[in-house]
Amino acid sequence: MSAATPRLHSLDPIGPGHRVTLGETLPLKLDCGLDLGPYQVAYTTYGRLNADKSNAILVCHALTGDQHVANTHPVTGKPGWWVSMVGPGKVIDTDRYFVICTNVLGGCMGSSGPAEIDPSSGKPYGLRFPVITIRDMVNAQAMLLDHLGIHQLFCVIGGSMGGMQVLQWAASYPERVFAAIPIATAAKHSAQNIAFHEVGRQAIYADPNWNKGDYFDHGVIPRNGLAVARMAAHITYLSEAALHRKFGRNLQNRERITYGFETEFQVESYLLHQGSTFVDRFDANSYLYITRAMDYFDLAAQAGGNLAAVFQGTKTRFCVVSFTSDWLFPTSENKEIVRALNAAAANVSFVEIETDKGHDAFLLDEPEMFRTLKGFLDGCAEVRGLNGSQT
């Protein structure tokens, strides 16, 4: 990622969208105690903001996502990561809603992060970038909304780490969130999930090219370490049933096993491919920072350990979604959110979608999820008075 002076409306090589510099007068107060400012936020928008600015939907991306939610990805050339959900006539209908997606703080697609140039040294931050949290990401997004003059979001939606941001939004800015859709997420990162993240980080540290984060200085990147991190993580996004359905024990380009250590099984080849393509679009240090942000997430801890207290008095309408085969953010974790919302007498719906596709199901074609969310959004739009031309 080359760091450049902030430009508007032209983000090459990080793709279409916008980038703003924020925090020039008032820095962002980070959870770690440091101030960050000025900082950049890269974002995309789709659709048109209505006259009273009441139809904005913020889409929050997951760990390895970015702002290219519904346009061709500038690096991979592939469709945006949520084109099944966001677009004209889709559940998040860009003919009807104004959709915003930001690259999270700490990311590597144009928002401030470890790959960007530290103005004080003229070199990439590396590990000198401050450690950030989910709340810091959300605060940065809130500053962007101030910049755009949008007071209240009609909806905040996201899966996995995106769901954590949704919950943080509802907790930090309840009056700015009319509806919230946290999908396949949790109010705190579990020990098991922290453990998986640590495996990924250790793989990066162990790559000799990592150079304690200063790999750009050496003209290298820790490809192998980041690829292994991605491979390990990718397994957690699937399910045993999905892996079996896709690959079984099928062999890769061979008739029989060869008693060696070349790529023998299709599932190995698939993972290697996942690892190597990921490295082309993601920064290793960003991976460290963002996994750390997820590990630190514990919403109840922000209210003395009582999750219901976080949502006390909220007027936001919630729709929580989980998937039966998701073992990374299982239904039990999602129900904990629902339980707290009930205890706070909040307006909450909850569905568990039956699927064998694991955690990644939220990114895939899940008609039941689409149907549920469309119904939920339509209901909210009616209450919010957004249905004028539709009904």
Give residues in contact with other proteins (CB under 8 A): 317, 319-320, 335, 338-339, 342-345, 347-354, 368, 371-372, 374-376, 378-380, 382
**Residue 349 annotated to the active site:** no
- Cβ atoms of residues 166 and 156 within 8 Å: yes
Task: Tell me whether residue 223 or residue 384 sits nearer to other proteins (CB atom).
Answer: 384
Query: Phi, psi (5° rounding) for residue 289?
Result: -65, -40
CB of 352 to other proteins, least distance (A): 5
**Residue 359 annotated to the active site:** yes
Task: Tell me whether residue 165 or residue 372 sits nearer to other proteins (CB atom).
Answer: 372
> What's the CA gap between 367 and 372, in Å, rounded?
9
CB of 57 to other proteins, least distance (A): 17
Task: Tell me whether residue 245 or residue 371 sits nearer to other proteins (CB atom).
Answer: 371
Task: Tell me whether residue 91 or residue 164 sits nearer to other proteins (CB atom).
Answer: 91
Task: Tell me whether residue 39 or residue 318 sits nearer to other proteins (CB atom).
Answer: 318
Q: Which two tokens stand for residue 76?
A: 């991979």
Q: Which two tokens stand for residue 160?
A: 């996995």
CB of 368 to other proteins, least distance (A): 6
Q: Which of 54, 111, 112, 160 is catalytic?
A: 160
Strands 153-159 and 18-22: unpaired
**Residue 121 annotated to the active site:** no
CB of 367 to other proteins, least distance (A): 10
Task: Tell me whether residue 26 or residue 345 sits nearer to other proteins (CB atom).
Answer: 345
Task: Tell me whether residue 211 or residue 347 sits nearer to other proteins (CB atom).
Answer: 347
Residues designated catalytic: 160, 326, 359
